[in-house]
Amino acid sequence: MRLMVNFLDALRKVRLKLSMENVVYTNQNATNLASSNLRDESTGLTRWFGCKAEIPQKTPAGPEVLWQNIKRVLLMCGGQKKPGAVEDERRSKDSCKLVDVLEAQRFVSQVFAAMKVPKQAASEMADALIAADYMGQHSMGIHRLPAIAADLLNRTVVGNAKPEIVSEKKAMGLVDGHNAPGPVVANFCMDLALQKAREVGIGWVSARSSNCIGFASWYACQALEQRMIGLCMTNGAPTLVPSGGIEPILGENPIACAASGVHEQFLADFGMAALSVEELELSYCNGWSKEVPKLVALDRNGKETTSTEEALKAQRIRAFQPEHKGFGLAAMVDILCGVMTGARYANQIPRRGLYSTENAPADLGQVYVAIDPMRFCPSFEDRLGDFHRLLRQAMPSKLGKPAMVPGDKEMQHMQMVDDQGGLTMTACTLCVLDELATKFRLAPLKMKGNVPRTSEGLQVA
């Protein structure tokens, strides 16, 4: 837990600094620059993102046209002419660089600020991406910058919108996100839930008119600092096909839960898909894999496919096995987040960013819960420690390595980042950030050198 608390404190200091200083340019210059970029460079910049800055034509582009846009963006991200162009794996790993966590946060914040997102909101959006990379969930990290930028440039997401409370009681609240960036809505809701939990022991806050929040664990973990249990869930654009079906009807609809004791922490975060679309994107643009496992994806004709390219074209993903239970959990989340909040649900939700010619708001629904466990059991932290001891004893390792419980993987990755002195940036990510620095005339990202080697090889995340 201490790693997470230190991380939260460090990000707060960066956010305060950004709010008090003009890091690269004055507010007036930022406004002029953003306006100039959106107006004068709209052709080049939006072509790079594979999207349109203006309202799309009434006649939507066909699937092949959409795929060419997606493919161009993904391959540009990877700096490759075609998937798998990196011939030598060692050479690919040697191209990875280290970037200080707070330096990455600084740069991403400025990218969002250059797109006319207020500095506070820009910093919150950057926090969510950096946290995902810090905790090892790279498919939800900086890799998602092109998709988020596409939504901002398309005006699908309103960068300067602010959420507001629609109704509330002592232990619950309903928030209208007003189509603000997902992380901004999520932080507002989680703060409100924590406030209510401090007062009455539990806070349940639902949101509508929100957008993609990214890594759900980031918001659940914010409860740990106040020694509370945090829960976060959200619906999403349809990519999940029902058992026996071929059309995507539900989103991956993740659930995250975080709790901590004195020496132990619990963190569970899982989407309902066998493999997320974001993971497919990350694999494709890095040239890591041209195939996906069996029983994961369908092609555009509804037939089984193991091709990463075909899976990305179709975005028809199976739920985790047993499939009917994975899909059932996704449906449960959609009832709580979509049906119950007044937000969109199921296939009412439009497809996102790079995969859509429409710029209709997503209107996602979300739930944020904070619980003060001491109100239920004063010895909760000691009991959680004993719970973890039992789990570790019940799962002996056959390889001589300590057994892992939910949360260990994230904590180990955070420790690895601290030990090696920064985040691992692949050639894919570096290409994206270099292009953004040029387009928005930002101070380039400062590198710390190559990823250090260990006795087991490179510490590539």
Give the model confidence (pLDDT) of 234-253 as tens digits. Answer: 999 999 999 999 999 999 99
Cis? peptide before 378, omega within 30° of 0 = no
| Mean pLDDT, range 28-38, rounded to an integer | 41
Tens-place pLDDT, residues 43-100: 334 333 433 333 333 334 455 554 555 555 555 444 344 444 443 443 454 568 899 9
| Mean pLDDT, range 273-289, rounded to an integer | 84
Strands (E), 35-163: 97-99
- HSE-up of residue 60 (Cα within 13 Å, Cβ side): 10
Q: Which residue's structure tokens are 């066909």? A: 62
Query: Residue 236: which residues within 8 A CB-CB, separation 6 or more?
Result: 212, 251, 252, 253, 254, 349, 364
Please tell me whether the overall predicted TM-score, pTM, comes out greater than 0.85 for this model.
no
What is the rounded distance in angstroms from the CA atom of residue 434 to the CA atom of residue 445? Answer: 8
pLDDT of 150? 79
Query: Residue 368: which residues within 8 A CB-CB, separation 6 or more?
Result: 186, 189, 190, 192, 193, 203, 204, 205, 206, 207, 219, 230, 231, 232
Query: Residue 54: which residues within 8 A CB-CB, separation 6 or more?
Result: 42
How many Å from the N-terminal Cα to the C-terminal Cα in the chain?
Answer: 21
Q: Name all domains of the chain by residue range, CATH numbers in brackets.
A: 2-153+421-458 (1.10.1530.10), 164-274+318-380 (3.30.1370.60), 282-316 (no CATH)
